[in-house]
C-alpha cells in the first residue's frame, strides 16, 4: 500500500465493502466527506496501514490506499481527484 | 489448527502422516505415510516396500516427475500453494484418464469450499481442511444441484 | 434465439444461490477479500474507481427484447439509469452495491441472464459475428456453435482456475466482424470437400503485447470440436505461466513454445485422450441449431421508403445493411451519438429500443464488439418509422463505420487500471468531426481508444489507435496507425512520441490531412492509403513540421 508514495501528507481512503462507495478515514471512522478526512504525515503511514487493516478485517472497508496531497493539502493525482469528485464526463 | 479429512460428506481424522525425514520412517507396514517428491526420488527403493505409501505434490509440481511409479501410491495429495493455481485440477484428471489411477487423490493447502465440487468432478476423492471450516464445505456440497454441462 | 432448458434455468438459479451464500460469508468476515475476489470475479463483479462494477453476460451478443427491458429496469432500480456495452458484447453496470448484487442476479435469472464467467481466470463470453445467420457469406450460422461452446465452458471443473482469462471467438465467413484473430482461440467455420468444419487459431491477444493468432489446425471436424478445445485448454492450464500475470496468456505460451510444439502437444492430447462423451452427435448439434432458425420464413416484397429527408437518407446509407432475405434490412443502432459517452445506453433508450425490437425486429437485438447494437430483421417498409422512433431517443446517429464511430474503453473516469481518460478524447473527436459531409468524405475509418496498456479499447487494431498514458502525472496519448481487426488483422505501428492531451486533436487532424492529401481516388479509405504510403509521411507531418518551427 505504501510503496512508491510521494510527498509528505496523505489521506487514507478505501471503498465501503457493502456499497463500494469511496470513503476517507476521519480519525475515527470512514466517510465520503473529504472535508473530514484526516491529514496523515509520512511518518504515520505504518500506523494508519494497521488501522486500515483492522477495518478491513472487520469487513467495513476494502482496498485501502493512501491519497497523495500537495503541500497545500489538496489531492495531487488526477486519478484520486476523479475518485473523489466523480466522473469528468456527463452521463 | 486442527485438520480433518472430508470425503464427500464423510468427516474423519487423517489416517496418513507426512514424513518429516526419511530416518523417521516407521518400520511397521501398517503405518500410512505420505512423502514428498524429493523424498520419494531419493529413497524409492525402501519406500516401494511400504504397503501404505502416498506422495504429496505442491500445486507447482507435476505428476510427470513420478509417473512411472504411480501404482505404488495408495494416495496422491496435491497441496495447493494458492487456490488460484488450477493445475492440480488438470493433474487429477490426467491421473484418472491418462494414467488410469484408481487410488485416492486428495487436495490440501489453500483451497476454498467453493472449489469442492470442481475437485470432486476432476477426480479428487478427499480434501484436508481446517476442522473449523468444515460446515462451509458441507454446505457447498449440499448446495450442489448435480446439474453439470460437462460429462 | 436460444431459450433456456430447465437444466439451464436450474444451473443459473443455483449459481445465484451460491453467490448469495458467498456474499453473506464475505460480509460477515468468513471470507477474506483475497478469497472472495476470485469468486466475485467469476460472477462478473469488479471493484473499480468509484464503486463496484457488474458485467452481465450477453452470450455471443444476442438479446431478446424482454432481456433488454430487464437490463433497463436493473439500471434504474440498482444503478444510475444507464449501462455500458463492451468490446466483448457484454453490458456493464458501474454503480451496483455489493449487498444488492444477489438481488440483481436473481432478477437477471428471471429473464435467462447472468453474470457468470464474465470475469476471472476462466473461459469468458464467446464472441461472434454480429451478422451471424443474416448474411450471405457465411458457410453456416456460427451462433449454435457459440452456444455449444458456452455450455461446455460454463463451470468447467478443470478450467475455472486458469493462469489467466481466456477468450474465444467464432466466425463463419471470410469477412471477420468479431476480431477473431486477437482472441486466445479463434474458430472459423469452413467448408472443405463438402464438409463443414473448423479452422482453429490460437494465441491472439492485445494487452501489453499484441499477438495475432496462429492457425494450428486446418480442419477440425464438428464432432471433435469440444474435445479439441479441451486439449488446448488442458495444455494451457498445465503449462501457462503463473509467475507473472503479464505473461500468463496462451499467446505467450505459443510464442515461447513455438507454433509447431504447441500444435503437436494439442494433437497428441486430442488423439489419445478425447472423451467419447464430449464427441458431438448430429442430433445434439441439430437440437441447438433449431433454436437459431430465423424468425422469418422467407423473402418478401417490401420496399424501403424514400423520403426527402437528409438525415433519414444519411442514416439509410450509413446504418442500414441488406438482410440475406430480400425485403428485409439490418439496422445498425449507433451508440455513438455526439453528446453521450460511447457505448452507453440510458434506461429510457433501452426500454424504447426493446419496444422497437419487439414490434419491428421479431424481438431480437444484438450487440457488436464495436459497442453498437443491431436490429437484425426489419421489414424494409418499416424503416422510416423505425428511424423516427430511434431518432426520438437519440439512437439514429448516421455514423456507423465513420470517424465518430470509435471504440472506447471506460478509461480513468471509471477504471481502476487506467492511466488516462479515454471518454473525453472520444467525445472531442466526436464533436470535432460531427459534420456529416466531412465524415463521409473521410470515409470508413476505425479509431480505437484505450485508457491504458490493457487495451480494452482495442487500440492495437485501430486504423488510428490511441493509447492513454501517464507521463509525469499528466495525461499523454500515444498514437498508432494501420491496425486492423478484420480478416487482414494487423497490429498498428506506433507513430512516435506521445502527445499531451492539449495537442492530441491537432495530431488527429494532421493525420487525417495527411491521409486526404495522399488519396489517389475520392473513394480510397484511410487503411488503403496507409497501406500504400506507409507510416513515414504521417511521421513527417506530425513531428518534423513542429520541429522545424
Chains in touch with C (3+ beta-carbon pairs under 8 Å) read A, B
Residue A91, domain member (yes or no): no
Residue A53, domain member (yes or no): yes
- Three cell numbers, residue B124: 479428487
Q: Which of A36-45, C34-43, C136-145 shows the lowest mean pLDDT across its residues? A: C34-43
Nearest to B111 by CA among C160, A21, C107: C160
**Between C29, C99, C341, which is nearest A18 by CB?**
C99
Residue A42, domain member (yes or no): yes
Band of pLDDT at residue C41, cut at 50, 70 and 90: confident
Domain map (residue ranges) of chain C: 1-120, 135-293, 310-392, 413-547
- For residue C171, the cross-strand partners are C188
Helix then strand then coil, in percent of chain A rounded to 5, is: 30, 30, 40
Q: Which of B26-35, C207-216, C393-402, C450-459 shows the lowest mean pLDDT across its residues? A: B26-35
Of residues C167 and B145, more confidently modeled: C167
C1 alpha-carbon distance from chain centroid: 19
Report whether C285 contacts C148 (CB < 8 A).
yes
Fold of the domain spanning C413-547: Sulfite Reductase Hemoprotein; domain 1 (3.30.413)
Q: Collapse the DSSP code of C58 into the 3-class scheme (helix H, G, I; strand E, B; otherwise coil) and give the result.
A: coil
Q: List chain C residues with CB under 8 Å of A88.
A: 413, 421, 424
* Chains B, C: CB pairs < 8 Å: 88
| Strand A9-16 with A61-68, pairing | antiparallel
Determine the pLDDT at residue C546: 54
- Three cell numbers, residue C300: 418478401
Quote the domain boundaries for residue A46. 9-85
CA atoms within 13 A on the CB side of A18: 10
Q: List chain C residues with CB under 8 Å of B145.
A: 10-11, 14
Q: List chain C residues with CB under 8 Å of A57.
A: 29
Residue A4, domain member (yes or no): no
pLDDT tens-digit series, residues C460-507:
999 999 999 999 999 999 999 999 999 999 999 999 999 999 999 999
Tell me the C-alpha distance between C433 and C441, whole Å: 11
Question: Does C424 contact A88 at a Cβ distance shorter than 8 Å?
Answer: yes
Of the options 3.40.140, 2.60.40, 3.30.70, 3.40.50, the CATH number for the domain spanning C1-120: 3.30.70
Determine the pLDDT at residue C94: 97
Question: Does B112 contact C39 at a Cβ distance shorter than 8 Å?
Answer: yes
**By the CB < 8 Å criterion, does B146 face chain C?**
no
Question: Does C234 contact B93 at a Cβ distance shorter than 8 Å?
Answer: yes
Q: Which of A2-11, B97-106, C374-383 shows the lowest mean pLDDT across its residues? A: A2-11
Nearest to C430 by CA among C512, C337, C508, C506: C337
Number of domains in chain A: 1
- Three cell numbers, residue C363: 424481438
Start-to-end Cα distance in chain A: 32
Tell me the C-alpha distance between B102 and B136, whole Å: 28
Tell me the C-alpha distance between C427 and B57, whole Å: 54
Determine the pLDDT at residue B131: 95
- For residue C469, the cross-strand partners are C476
Residue A90, domain member (yes or no): no
Question: Does C35 contact B83 at a Cβ distance shorter than 8 Å?
Answer: yes
Band of pLDDT at residue C548, cut at 50, 70 and 90: very low
- Of the residues C158, C248, C280, the best mutation for testing chain B's interface (the one with the most B CB atoms within 10 Å of its CB) is C158
C271: which residues sit within 8 A by CB, 6+ positions away? none
Q: Which residues of chain A have pLDDT under 50?
A: none
How many CB atoms lie under 10 A from the CB of residue C502? 9
Question: Does C50 contact A21 at a Cβ distance shorter than 8 Å?
Answer: yes
- Three cell numbers, residue C281: 452427435
Largest CA distance in chain C: 72
Give the residue from chain C lying closest to A78, CA to CA.
Answer: C473
Tell me the C-alpha distance between C471 and C476, whole Å: 6
Report whether C83 contacts C93 (CB < 8 A).
yes
Domains of chain B by start residue, with CATH: 3-143 (3.20.20.70)
Q: Collapse the DSSP code of C98 into the 3-class scheme (helix H, G, I; strand E, B; otherwise coil) and give the result.
A: helix
Q: Do domains C135-293 and C413-547 have the same CATH topology?
A: yes
pLDDT tens-digit series, residues B5-53:
999 999 999 999 999 999 999 988 889 999 999 999 999 999 999 999 9
Q: List chain C residues with CB under 8 Å of A76.
A: 473
Give the residue from chain B lying closest to C235, CA to CA.
Answer: B90
Torsion of CA C515, C520, C525, C528, to 10 degrees: -90
Determine the pLDDT at residue C549: 42
Fold of the domain spanning C310-392: Alpha-Beta Plaits (3.30.70)
The nearest CA of chain B is from the CA of C454 a distance in Å of 21
Determine the pLDDT at residue C198: 98
**Exposed / middle / buried, residue C250 (Cβ in 10 Å: 0-12, 13-18, 19+):** buried
Q: Collapse the DSSP code of C85 into the 3-class scheme (helix H, G, I; strand E, B; otherwise coil) and give the result.
A: strand
pLDDT tens-digit series, residues A25-46:
999 999 999 999 999 999 999 9
The answer, yes or no, to whether residue C295 has pLDDT greater than 90, is yes
How many CB atoms lie under 10 A from the CB of residue C55? 23
Tell me the C-alpha distance between C412 and C451, whole Å: 6
Superfamily for C135-293? Sulfite Reductase Hemoprotein, domain 1 (3.30.413.10)
Question: Does C154 contact B149 at a Cβ distance shorter than 8 Å?
Answer: yes
Residue A1, domain member (yes or no): no
Determine the pLDDT at residue A1: 56
Amino acid at each position: 500500500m505504501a510503496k512508491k508514495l510521494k510527498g509528505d501528507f496523505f489521506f487514507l481512503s478505501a471503498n465501503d465493502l457493502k456499497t463500494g462507495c469511496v470513503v476517507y478515514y476521519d480519525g475515527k471512522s470512514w466517510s465520503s466527506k473529504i472535508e473530514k478526512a484526516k491529514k496523515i504525515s509520512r511518518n504515520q503511514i505504518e500506523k494508519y496501514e494497521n488501522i486500515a487493516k483492522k477495518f478491513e478485517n472487520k469487513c467495513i472497508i476494502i482496498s485501502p490506499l493512501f491519497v497523495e496531497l500537495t503541500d497545500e493539502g489538496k489531492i495531487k493525482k488526477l486519478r484520486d481527484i476523479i475518485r473523489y469528485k466523480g466522473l469528468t464526463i456527463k452521463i | 489448527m486442527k485438520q480433518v479429512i472430508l470425503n464427500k460428506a464423510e468427516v474423519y481424522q487423517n489416517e496418513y502422516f507426512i514424513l518429516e525425514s526419511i530416518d523417521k520412517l516407521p518400520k511397521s507396514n501398517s503405518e500410512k505415510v505420505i512423502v514428498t517428491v524429493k523424498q520419494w526420488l531419493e529413497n524409492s527403493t525402501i519406500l516401494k516396500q511400504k504397503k501404505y505409501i502416498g506422495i504429496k505434490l505442491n500445486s507447482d509440481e507435476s505428476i510427470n516427475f513420478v509417473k512411472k511409479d504411480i501404482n505404488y501410491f495408495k494416495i496422491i495429495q496435491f497441496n495447493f500453494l494458492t487456490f488460484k493455481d488450477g493445475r492440480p485440477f488438470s493433474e487429477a484428471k490426467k491421473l484418472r484418464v491418462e494414467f488410469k489411477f484408481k487410488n485416492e487423490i486428495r487436495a490440501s493447502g489453500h483451497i476454498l469450499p467453493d472449489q469442492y465440487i470442481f475437485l470432486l468432478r476432476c477426480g479428487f476423492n478427499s480434501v484436508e481442511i481446517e476442522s473449523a471450516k468444515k460446515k462451509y464445505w458441507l454446505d457447498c456440497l449440499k448446495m450442489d444441484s448435480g446439474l453439470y454441462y460437462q460429462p | 434465439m436460444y431459450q433456456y432448458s430447465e437444466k439451464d434455468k436450474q444451473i443459473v438459479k443455483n449459481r445465484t444461490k451460491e453467490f448469495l451464500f458467498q456474499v453473506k460469508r464475505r460480509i460477515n468476515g468468513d471470507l477474506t477479500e483475497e478469497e472472495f475476489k476470485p469468486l466475485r470475479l467469476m460472477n462478473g463483479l469488479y471493484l473499480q474507481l468509484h464503486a463496484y462494477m457488474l458485467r452481465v453476460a450477453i452470450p455471443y451478443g444476442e438479446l431478446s427484447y424482454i432481456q433488454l427491458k430487464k437490463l433497463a429496469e436493473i439500471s434504474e432500480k440498482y444503478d444510475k439509469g444507464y449501462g455500458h456495452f463492451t468490446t466483448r458484447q457484454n453490458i456493464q453496470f458501474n454503480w451496483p452495491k455489493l449487498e444488492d448484487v444477489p438481488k440483481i442476479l436473481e432478477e437477471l435469472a428471471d429473464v435467462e441472464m447472468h453474470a457468470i464467467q464474465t470475469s476471472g481466470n476462466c473461459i469468458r463470453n464467446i464472441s461472434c459475428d454480429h451478422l451471424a445467420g443474416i448474411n450471405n457469406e457465411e458457410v453456416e450460422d456460427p451462433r449454435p456453435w457459440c452456444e455449444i461452446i458456452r455450455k461446455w465452458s460454463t463451470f468447467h471443473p478443470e478450467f475455472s482456475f486458469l493462469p489467466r482469462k481466456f477468450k474465444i471467438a467464432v466466425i463463419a465467413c471470410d469477412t471477420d466482424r468479431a476480431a477473431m484473430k486477437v482472441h486466445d482461440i479463434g474458430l472459423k467455420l469452413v467448408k472443405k470437400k463438402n464438409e463443414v468444419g473448423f479452422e482453429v487459431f490460437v494465441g491472439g491477444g492485445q494487452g501489453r503485447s499484441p499477438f495475432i493468432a496462429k492457425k494450428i489446425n486446418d480442419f477440425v471436424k464438428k464432432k471433435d470440436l469440444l474435445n479439441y478445445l479441451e486439449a488446448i485448454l488442458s495444455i494451457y492450464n498445465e503449462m501457462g505461466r503463473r509467475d507473472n500475470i503479464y505473461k500468463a496468456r496462451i499467446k505467450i505460451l505459443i510464442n515461447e513454445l513455438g507454433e509447431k510444439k504447441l500444435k503437436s502437444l494439442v494433437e497428441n492430447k486430442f488423439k489419445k485422450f478425447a472423451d467419447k462423451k464430449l464427441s458431438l452427435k448430429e442430433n445434439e448439434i441439430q437440437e441447438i441449431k433449431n433454436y437459431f432458425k430465423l424468425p422469418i420464413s422467407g423473402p418478401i416484397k417490401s420496399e424501403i421508403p424514400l423520403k426527402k429527408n437528409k438525415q433519414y437518407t444519411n442514416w439509410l446509407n450509413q446504418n442500414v445493411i441488406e438482410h440475406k432475405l430480400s425485403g428485409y434490412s439490418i439496422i445498425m443502432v449507433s451508440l455513438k451519438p455526439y453528446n453521450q459517452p460511447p457505448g452507453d445506453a440510458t434506461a429510457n433508450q433501452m426500454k424504447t429500443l426493446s419496444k422497437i425490437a419487439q414490434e419491428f425486429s421479431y424481438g431480437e437485438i444484438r450487440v457488436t464488439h464495436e459497442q453498437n447494437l443491431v436490429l437484425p430483421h426489419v421489414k424494409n417498409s418499416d424503416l422510416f418509422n423505425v428511424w423516427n422512433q430511434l431518432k426520438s431517443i437519440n439512437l439514429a446517429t448516421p455514423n456507423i463505420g465513420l470517424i465518430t464511430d470509435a471504440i472506447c474503453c471506460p478509461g480513468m473516469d471509471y477504471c481502476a487500471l487506467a492511466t488516462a481518460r479515454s471518454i473525453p478524447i472520444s467525445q472531442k473527436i466526436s464533436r470535432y468531426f460531427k459534420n456529416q459531409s466531412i465524415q463521409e468524405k473521410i470515409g470508413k475509418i476505425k479509431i480505437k481508444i484505450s485508457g491504458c496498456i490493457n487495451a480494452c479499447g482495442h487500440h492495437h487494431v485501430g486504423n488510428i489507435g490511441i493509447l492513454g498514458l501517464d507521463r509525469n502525472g499528466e495525461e499523454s496519448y500515444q498514437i498508432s496507425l494501420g491496425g486492423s481487426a478484420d480478416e487482414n488483422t494487423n497490429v498498428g505501428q506506433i507513430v512516435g512520441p506521445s502527445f499531451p492531451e492539449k495537442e492530441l486533436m491537432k495530431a488527429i487532424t494532421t493525420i487525417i490531412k495527411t491521409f486526404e492529401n495522399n488519396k489517389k481516388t475520392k473513394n480510397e479509405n484511410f487503411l488503403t492509403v496507409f497501406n500504400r504510403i506507409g507510416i513515414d509521411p504521417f511521421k513527417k507531418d506530425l513531428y518534423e513540421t513542429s520541429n522545424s518551427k
